[in-house]
Amino acid sequence: MEEVQRAIALMKAKGYKNTPKRQAMLEVIAKAERFITAKDVQEALKDTYKGLSYDTIYRNLYTFVEQGILESSERNGEKVFLMHCSTHKHHHHFICDRCEKITEIEMCPMDYFMNQLPGYEISGHRFEITGLCPECAKNKLPKLKFVLNEV
């Protein structure tokens, strides 16, 4: 997986070691192609790394976010993670509520909001649109339950 190799190179460049467990975590997230939780990662790796704790996984995922390897968001009150998009331009996401497919949106509403907030210093923002992708809307597909394959 090319994106995992890029992530490992970035991790090494920032002084972090690549361990088999870290690489396995990255592979699980890259394979998912959607936002997943630390619990999802733990479930996918439970047979390969029997003693791998939730805290260890969460700590590593948070480190990956700080390094720019992963993106994080919140879904249903839980922190979720996704491989950092290869797009180098600023963008946002549409997330399908049924199939959880992610579509990049290459525009930002902050231009509008900046005009509404004169004098404010903005330190960051998040913007996600959720709903149904065209396929799910057309076919009225039931919500999928994803099962992550073990690495």
The DSSP secondary structure of the chain, one letter per residue, reads: -HHHHHHHHHHHHTTPPP-HHHHHHHHHHHHH-S-B-HHHHHHHHTTTSTT--HHHHHHHHHHHHHTTSEEEEEETTEEEEEEPPS--S--EEEEETTT--EEEE---THHHHHHHSTT--------EEEE--HHHHHHTPPPP---PPP-
Q: Does domain 2-83 have CATH number 1.10.1200.10?
A: no
- Bridge partners of residue 79, in order along the sequence: 74
Cβ density class 82-116: b for 16+ within 10 Å, e for less: bbbeeeeeeebbebbebbbbbeeeeeeeeeeeeee
The domain made up of 92-139 has a fold known as Dna Ligase; domain 1 (3.30.1490)
Chain centroid to Cα 112, Å, comes to: 26
Q: pTM, whole model, 2 decimals?
A: 0.72
Q: Start-end ranges of CATH 1.10.10.10 in the chain? A: 2-83
Q: Start-end ranges of CATH 3.30.1490.190 in the chain? A: 92-139
Instruction: Output the tens digit of pLDDT for each of the chain's 151 residues.
Output: 788 998 999 999 999 999 999 999 999 999 998 899 999 999 999 999 999 999 999 999 999 999 989 988 888 888 999 887 665 677 777 888 888 888 888 877 887 888 888 888 888 877 778 889 898 888 875 665 555 554 4
